[in-house]
A = this chain, B = another copy of it.
Amino acid sequence: MQEKRDCFYKLSMLSKSQLGFIKSLHQKKYRKENELFIIEGIKSITEFISSPYDIQSIYLLPQYHSLLTGLPANIKLFEVNNAELNKISTLQTPQGILALVSVPKNSILETTQLKNNFTLVLDGVQDPGNLGTIIRTADWFGFKRIICSLDTVEVYNPKTVQATMGSLARINVYYQDLPLFFKTNKLPVYGALLAGESMYKTGWGKEGLVILGNEGKGISNEVMPYINNPVHIPGAGNTESLNVAISAAILCADIYRNLQK
């Protein structure tokens, strides 16, 4: 079938040890060791191809071949069958195409980048789906970066990557020692707190950091003193809290609305 192949593509069969290697990347330990993570689905992969991320290899069912155009020559391409894809996929229903992406070098967070912007700060978010959904939502509202505490769930967790629906390709995520980071920060610091002021009365300015806490414990004691604008999402008072990704979304929507005024 040589004639059907694009000359830039290097199609090969997958060895048993390659299957095992990709499967090992389902685990954090091996993602860290090999500085690689998995993305799945044509939408995600297309977004990563046109991003600064470095895609190392793509594994796909033959019928997905035609969907990939203009692939850089350095990306290794492997045809797999359904059984192989089921083995390497992190999804219950694999999406026909999977890629290995290099973890980018730790870029340094320049605090000047934070000026004239709003940035979400996640303090101990534990659920990978929540982190991914927050990244996707932040992207919708034009946020450029997210700062995570060191104990926030790993952004390359397959569930996080999947929940971002490709937005991870556009949002920079920085892991920081939050108390250390806040010590030198000069921007207004908003914190999502039940005891805060209504977000509709807070008068978001043109820049700031917005802290969201852990799913069960909220914002940590170490970070709490740095909040100078506690904000609250007004509600009917029936239930005691909102999911953290939901809170983030409602705050982002209101910040975005204010920036458009």
Interface residues of A (CB under 8 A from B): 129, 133, 136-137, 139-142, 163, 165-167, 170, 200, 233-239, 241-243, 245-246, 249-250, 253-254, 256-257, 260
When chains A and B are docked, how far (Å) is the Cα of A234 from the Cα of B257?
8
Q: Which B residues are CB-close (under 8 A) to A236?
A: 139-142, 256
State which of B140, B241, B242 has its C-beta within 8 Å of the C-beta of A239: B140
Q: Which B residues are CB-close (under 8 A) to A249?
A: 242, 246, 249-250
A to B CB contacts below 8 Å, 19 in the list? A133-B245, A136-B246, A137-B246, A139-B236, A139-B239, A140-B236, A140-B238, A140-B239, A140-B242, A141-B236, A142-B237, A142-B238, A165-B243, A170-B238, A234-B260, A235-B256, A246-B246, A250-B250, A253-B253
Given A141-B235, A238-B170, do A246 and B200 touch, yes or no (CB 8 Å)? no
Q: Which B residues are CB-close (under 8 A) to A235?
A: 140-142, 256
When chains A and B are docked, how far (Å) is the Cα of A230 from the Cα of B249?
21
State which of B237, B241, B245, B257 has its C-beta within 8 Å of the C-beta of A165: B241
Extra contacts, 7 of them, besides A136-B242, A170-B239, A246-B249 (Cβ < 8 A), are: A133-B245, A141-B236, A142-B237, A142-B238, A167-B239, A245-B245, A250-B253
When chains A and B are docked, how far (Å) is the Cα of A140 from the Cα of B254?
17
Q: Which B residues are CB-close (under 8 A) to A246?
A: 133, 136-137, 245-246, 249
